[in-house]
Structure 1
Amino acid sequence: MNKATDRSKKMRAMFGGVDPAELAKSPNPAPSMTATTKQRVSSGAIKSMRNTFSDVEKENEKLRQMIEDGSVAHELSTDDLDPSFVADRMVVANDEDFEKLKASISASGQQVPILVRPHPETPDRYQIAFGHRRWRACKDLGIPVRGIIKELSDEALLIAQGQENHERKNLSFIETALFASRLAKTFPQTVISKAIGKDATTVSKLLKLMNALPEEFVREIGPAPKIGRPRWEELAGHFNNGMLPDPFKARVDAVMISADFELSASDERFSAILSACKSAETNAATTGSIATAAKSWIGNKQILMKDGPNALSFQVDAKRQPELAAFLKRRLPDLMDEFELEILKEDA
């Protein structure tokens, strides 16, 4: 049995109800390719095919394990399902990827079941752990959704929900940060780390970012799939205690109420808002109207921290605290090395 046929049969056994015993039967051998034909096959196409099979096999393995645990896929009315109690994805208008998913399900059926649990508060209803887009697509198409029903605690549901999105790598950076922020309202950092597949240091950075940015403001921009952590942090640097200073807010508000903003994709919305902030910053620097930084002390009034909309600075009185000043000078290179390592780890 060749590998491609073997994988195909496994998929049919998983999703089409084929008796797994049929997998042991050998198919008729496929006609062999001539040497000339083999040479025409591009290495890129072969690599793409291998990657596709690898992704499918990972998903099949997860579902196969569920079936071994006694779970089977059921046809469920989309009206009997409710989303997870913690949203992880932003729903946006004119979502091309979602329209492609709907077209695929309409043409070929729902290939991968969703995961649900009996609703913890409402009898005869279910709550989705993962597969929200498949549920919405089936709902729009007016067809039942295939789902595996499994008893899950709140924590187990959130971990399954987060890990499925992490493995598929289809949540944007800011959607992951927003998901972590919502989880932090109820769950400890250990659960957040498991749910989003990030270590404690990364989780802390995500939460710090979301503490600086109002959630409603982020939602107005949208998922911005092409915008990564550095640019979001750059935008957050213009906020002071969760708010934009007046000169910045005036320009950003003007952008957000424009017709172009409403019709733009979320990446374009982000870029327009960041440009407005930079423009306000340049104007403030020219007129000398940059907002005053918030000041606070670290230690027993040993280090003065100034946290402004555009800069963060630390000040030590080297005459009164020579040993502390020398210590900080000595430690700064090591801290920079540690920072660079963390950045490389996150990017990987």
Structure 2
Amino acid sequence: MNKRKAVISLAGYEDIFEDSMENGEREEVVRLPISQFHTFRNHPFRVMDDEKMEETVKSVKQYGILIPGIVRPLNTGGYEVIAGHRRWRACELAGLKEMPVLVRKMTDEEATVIMVDTNIQREDILPSEKAKAYKMKYEAMKHQGSKGEKFTADLVGEAAGESGRTVQRYIRLTELITELLDAVDHKVISMKVGEFPLTFL
């Protein structure tokens, strides 16, 4: 794994932004039409029009978007949102036509790692969301060249403060049938119990 990929694999949103500034990569925040935005492919995190979103919309109306999102240009036109799906939705609900963002060219693997790391520490994440996100990041890092299943799982969990063993447990949840995964999300069965039936599916 080269230095650039190692930084992206281990850093959170603030760390990534500060690192670019320290290295002289002066990124310009630009305002882009939200009509040109596209959802990150297979985005594992919900964007709910709930009470928290209402609070975000009120904040956006009063103060605007305080932290820019991160997007990357698509070959087919428009921009794929890497970080800022909830802010994007808040802009829509607030009636705003544009949103401040950082535009970055990056590989699919780099984009996946940043997308996961900028969402994984939210308090309202369901086990199924975390499971899918960890699997996406794990596969991205393996493709980047990370060696060893346990070592890669440790790196995946580092940004969220979780062990590699915990990451592996979450990833195994993605093999559950939908009914069992929903049961884990709704706390009908625990994660450990949810893993047990995998042998029989």
When normalised by structure 2's length, the TM-score is: 0.69
Cα separation, 2, equivalents of 1:102 and 1:157: 26
Q: Which residue of 2 aligns with 1:231?
A: 190
**What is the identity, as a one-letter code, of the residue corresponding to 1:98?**
M
Query: Alpha-carbon deviation of 1:87?
Result: 0.9
Bigger-Rg structure (1/2): 1
Q: Which residue of 1 aligns with 2:40?
A: 84
Question: Is 2:95 the partner of 1:142?
Answer: yes
Question: Is 2:115 the partner of 1:161?
Answer: yes
1:114 paired residue among 69, 77, 82:
69
1:48-74 residue CA offsets vs partner (Å, 9 max, x unmatched): xxxxxxxxxx97665344454121111
Cα separation, 2, equivalents of 1:162 and 1:73: 21
**What is the identity, as a one-letter code, of the residue corresponding to 1:179?**
A
- In structure 2, runs of 5+ residues without a counterpart are 1-11, 143-148
When normalised by structure 1's length, the TM-score is: 0.43
Query: Alpha-carbon deviation of 1:176?
Result: 0.7
**Superposition RMSD in Å:** 3.4
Cα separation, 1, equivalents of 2:139 and 2:13: 31
- In structure 1, runs of 5+ residues without a counterpart are 1-57, 243-348
Listed as ranges, the matches of 1:56-205 within 5 Å are: 62-67=16-21, 68-92=24-48, 94-119=49-74, 121-123=75-77, 125-143=78-96, 144-168=98-122, 171-182=125-136, 188=142, 194-196=155-157, 197=159, 198-205=162-169
Query: Alpha-carbon deviation of 1:165?
Result: 1.8
Q: Residue 165 of structure 1 aligns to a residue in which SS?
A: coil
Cα separation, 2, equivalents of 1:95 and 1:61: 29
**What is the identity, as a one-letter code, of the residue corresponding to 2:37?**
L
Query: Alpha-carbon deviation of 1:141?
Result: 2.0
Cα separation, 1, equivalents of 2:62 and 2:109: 35
Q: Residue 111 of structure 1 aligns to a residue in which SS?
A: coil
Q: Which residue of 2 aligns with 1:212?
A: 176
**What is the identity, as a one-letter code, of the residue corresponding to 1:90?**
R
Q: Residue 118 of structure 2 aligns to a residue in which SS?
A: helix
Cα separation, 1, equivalents of 2:19 and 2:134: 27
Cα separation, 2, equivalents of 1:186 and 1:113: 24
Q: Residue 174 of structure 2 aligns to a residue in which SS?
A: helix
1:99-155 residue CA offsets vs partner (Å, 9 max, x unmatched): 211111112111110011111x313x1111111100111122231111011111111
The percentage of aligned residue pairs carrying the same residue is 18
Q: Residue 212 of structure 1 aligns to a residue in which SS?
A: coil
Asked if structure 1 preserves the Cα contact closer than 8 Å seen for 2:69 and 2:101, the reply is yes
Q: Which residue of 2 aligns with 1:251?
A: none
**What is the identity, as a one-letter code, of the residue corresponding to 2:58?**
A
Residues 1:222 and 1:148: Cα distance change in structure 2 (over 3 Å)? farther
Cα separation, 1, equivalents of 2:168 and 2:118: 21
**What is the identity, as a one-letter code, of the residue corresponding to 1:110?**
I
Q: Which residue of 2 aligns with 1:298?
A: none
Asked if structure 1 preserves the Cα contact closer than 8 Å seen for 2:83 and 2:118, the reply is yes
Residues 1:241 and 1:141: Cα distance change in structure 2 (over 3 Å)? farther
Q: Which has the higher contact order (CA 8 A, sep 6+)?
A: 2
Cα separation, 2, equivalents of 1:192 and 1:127: 26
